[in-house]
Amino acid sequence: MGKFPYVVSLLPFLSLTVIFLSATIAPPQPVAALPLSTDSRWIVDETGQRVKLACVNWAAHLDAVVAEGLSKQPIDSISKKIVSMGFNCVRLTSPLFLATNDSLANTTVRHSFRNLGLIESIAGFQANNPSIIYHSLISAFQGTPYVVGMSLRNELRGRKENANDWYR
């Protein structure tokens, strides 16, 4: 069956454990004093108080290159749901090719979905988030005033990785 068959049987248990543990952890406090900055290794608000970012991952790296769900609900509704679950930060997963492929970066949200044959999604965008349907993919969220840039690196990949940098 494989090298680690017991891991597969533990997945449902581990998933439930994470859900129950996350329900017992105190939710992060809302950030009231923007903008954020850094002080040594800490993220702090405008008053110098430490801020803990509790981020939710919002997939935007798939072929359409737009945050998932925007054709189903208004962004305001999705944002309020994220806040109600205790998150104060969103990590949008943008693909690297969005910034490196000029022809894709200049494609509008409407054209991206049309090119993928997702005509129903275009109608959903027009109904739920009409303000971004004609934006280029790379500029759809350009007007967002508060952005924290971060990188999430899960593991070393390939021969050219520098293990010394990874473990310092």
Beta strands in 16-161 (DSSP E): 37-39, 42-44, 55-59, 89-93
Whether 162 is covered by a domain: the verdict is: no
Whether 103 is covered by a domain: the verdict is: yes
Rounded Cα distance between 168 and 164, Å, is 6
Is pLDDT larger for residue 35 or for residue 149? 35
Q: Which residues pair with residue 43 across a beta bridge?
A: 38
Rounded Cα distance between 110 and 107, Å, is 8
Place of tokens 């900055």: 37
130, 76 contact by CB (below 8 A): no
Is pLDDT larger for residue 65 or for residue 30? 65
Whether 121 is covered by a domain: the verdict is: yes
pLDDT confidence tier of residue 53, bands split at 50, 70 and 90: confident
115, 107 contact by CB (below 8 A): yes
Place of tokens 């952890």: 25
Is pLDDT larger for residue 141 or for residue 15? 141
Q: Residue 155's pLDDT is what? A: 58
Q: Residue 25's pLDDT is what? A: 45
pLDDT confidence tier of residue 85, bands split at 50, 70 and 90: very high
What are phi and psi for residue 60, nearest 5 degrees?
-140, 15
Whether 79 is covered by a domain: the verdict is: yes
Whether 19 is covered by a domain: the verdict is: no
Whether 16 is covered by a domain: the verdict is: no
Whether 15 is covered by a domain: the verdict is: no
Q: Indicate whether this model's pTM tops 0.75.
A: no
Enter the tokens of residue 77: 């509704």
Q: Residue 20's pLDDT is what? A: 40
Q: Residue 59's pLDDT is what? A: 78
In this structure, which amino acid lies at residue 122? Answer: I
Whether 11 is covered by a domain: the verdict is: no
Q: Which residues pair with residue 18 across a beta bridge?
A: none
Residue 120 domain boundaries = 55-141
Total domain count for the chain?
A: 1
Is pLDDT larger for residue 132 or for residue 40? 40
